[in-house]
Amino acid sequence: MIARVLPQSQYALLGALPTPPLAPYVRPEDLATIVIETEGRIVASIAVLRAVHFESVWIGPDACNAGAVRALLRKAASLAREWGATFVFGGAENEAMRETLGRMGAVWLPFDPCVLPLGGESCRRP
């Protein structure tokens, strides 16, 4: 059994495996596919991508209107584009934010997101 990064020039070896839902939004340099090979056959794979995530939106009571929310998100999107991002991860804690993100073109993904610690401090909530 061998684990390796599959060069993009060899993606045809993935054959009929499902395409990751985020692949159309990711720049090629921000996407890698790890494969497990046994006896020359790919038996497992995972996509690894680099991404920007919007987190902890706070709107004070004096700015609790759609204009402030849109301005905040547009400025955050502008910064993400400066960083080279072509998409961002985000989420909605309430229906108003869900509607705002929807009007901005958000695509709701078919999976449950999580935080997976890669060492050091735990990400578990108290």
| Rounded Cα–Cα distance for residues 93 and 82 (Å) | 26
Instruction: Give the pLDDT band (50/70/90) at residue 33.
Output: very high
Q: Is the four-CA dihedral 57, 60, 61, 63 of positive or negative sign?
A: negative
Any idea where the domains of the chain sit in the sequence? 2-49, 52-103
pTM of the predicted model as reported, rounded to 2 decimal places: 0.69
pLDDT the model gives residue 70: 81
* Alpha helices (H) in 63-105, listed in sequence order: 66-82, 95-103
For the record, the structure tokens of 31 come out as 């996407």
Residue that wins the pLDDT comparison between 52 and 125: 52
pLDDT one-digit tens code per residue, 61-107: 887 776 888 889 889 999 999 999 988 988 888 888 888 888 888 88
% of the chain beyond a pLDDT of 70: 94
